[in-house]
Amino acid sequence: MSAGKLSVVGLGPGDARFLTPEAQAALDRAEWLYGYAPYLDRIEVRSEQRKIPSDNRVEAERAYEALAAAVEGRRVAMVSGGDPGVFAMAAAVCEQVERGPEAFRTLELEIVPGISAMLAAAAACGAPLGHDFCVISLSDNLKPWTLIERRLDAAAEVGFAMAFYNPISKARPWQLDSAFARLRERLPAATPVVFARAIGRADQRLRVSSLGEASGEWADMATLVIVGSPATRVIERPGRPPLVYTPRRA
């Protein structure tokens, strides 16, 4: 039996332009490719490669299955949007390695990084993450909302810019507006807020606003929200979209 291997591969935020050569090479080496169906749809495979799509909700099972297939001797890739280590499959795989059979620990495992949504979003509008910042998932599926509130308060208190993943969904309609309301009590109304939707894809949309104006209606599941620090600035430019940046000196 050939030696199996699991590669957890970041696809970047959008189309193939954002896929690194290393990620493409890992995909090319794989026999079986696991992942959330829309991510697998983004990649082209050869006829002898096999895609095994799964639903968004079954990450633990997907990670276990991919590890088990690799233990059986398959060369397996698990794909993630953006970077696999940012609110994605790399941690789910590590959880199964920790919890699962001993064979999972001896297996060859590689994590191939990708361009995370926050980096692509920041690049699309300037450099809002140019100084200290923090990253928060606004999903309360895996943690209580009260913990998210404490983290928002702490981030505002110490002057971090913030990148919000998973800002809103049909099942979580109120969380983003609640976060804005909380931050309005702690940060100036003029604090820049960027809504970066589907960055790197054909339907990319960028909206620069302020904390005073920001509305959860402007976000959907494919949006990354950046809230600036009190130092973050917006530079208006004639005939060009504004630049948002956070100076490197506090």
Q: List 34's β-bridge partners, or say none.
A: 52, 78
Distance from C-alpha of 186 to C-alpha of 148, rounded to nearest angstrom: 15
Nearer to ligand SAH, 124 or 156 (CB): 124
Is residue 107 within 8 A of residue 4, CB to CB? The reply is: yes
| Binding range to ligand SAH, per CB under 6 A, among 51-59, 92-100, 115-123, 236-244 | 115-123
Mapped onto helix, strand or coil, the DSSP state of residue 59 is helix
| Per-residue binding letters, 165-204, with ligand SAH (x by CB under 6 A) | xxx----------------------------xxxxxx---
Name which position in 80, 96, 191, 229 contacts ligand SAH (CB under 6 A): 80
Is residue 56 within 8 A of residue 142, CB to CB? The reply is: no
Distance from C-alpha of 63 to C-alpha of 109, rounded to nearest angstrom: 12
Residue 43 contacts ligand SAH per CB under 6 A: no
| Binding range to ligand SAH, per CB under 6 A, among 91-99, 104-112, 126-134, 218-226 | 218-226
Residue 112 contacts ligand SAH per CB under 6 A: no
CA–centroid distance for 200 within its chain = 13
Summarize as ranges the residues that interact with ligand SAH (CB under 6 A): 13-14, 80-83, 86-88, 116-117, 121, 165-167, 196-201, 221-224
